Amino acid sequence: MRVMWSHWELTMKNIVGSNIFNKNLDESINSVALFDTFYVFGRIVSCKVVDSKGYGYIQYESVEQLNGKQLNNHQV
C-alpha cells in the first residue's frame, strides 16, 4: 500500500487538516473498513474508497503518526 499526501484546491476548503490518498488497496477494503482502520490516527472529516480503482481518500481534521502501522498485513 502506498500512502501519499494530497493537496488540491486548499483555498476552497473550510477545514484545515490533512488529506491522505491510499493507493493499491485490497479489494476487500471498503469505505467503512478504511474509516475503521484509520480513525485511530485522528478525527476523520470524510473517507471514501473508489472500489473499481483500488484507491481511497481520507480527509483528517488532524493526523497522528502513521509510520509503521499495518493495514491487512501491509505496512503503511
The count of domains in the chain is 1
Res. 76: pLDDT tops 80: no
Q: Of 12, 14, 61, which is closest to residue 38 (Cα–Cα)?
A: 61
Residue 5 has pLDDT above 70, yes or no: no
Q: Categorize the per-residue pLDDT at 49 as very low, low, confident or very high, splitting at 50, 70 and 90.
A: very high
Written as one letter, the residue type at 32 is V
Provide the whole-model pTM. Answer: 0.62
CATH code of 57's domain: 3.30.70.330
- Dist. CA 53–CA 8, nearest whole Å: 20
Domain of 70 in residue numbering reads as 2-75
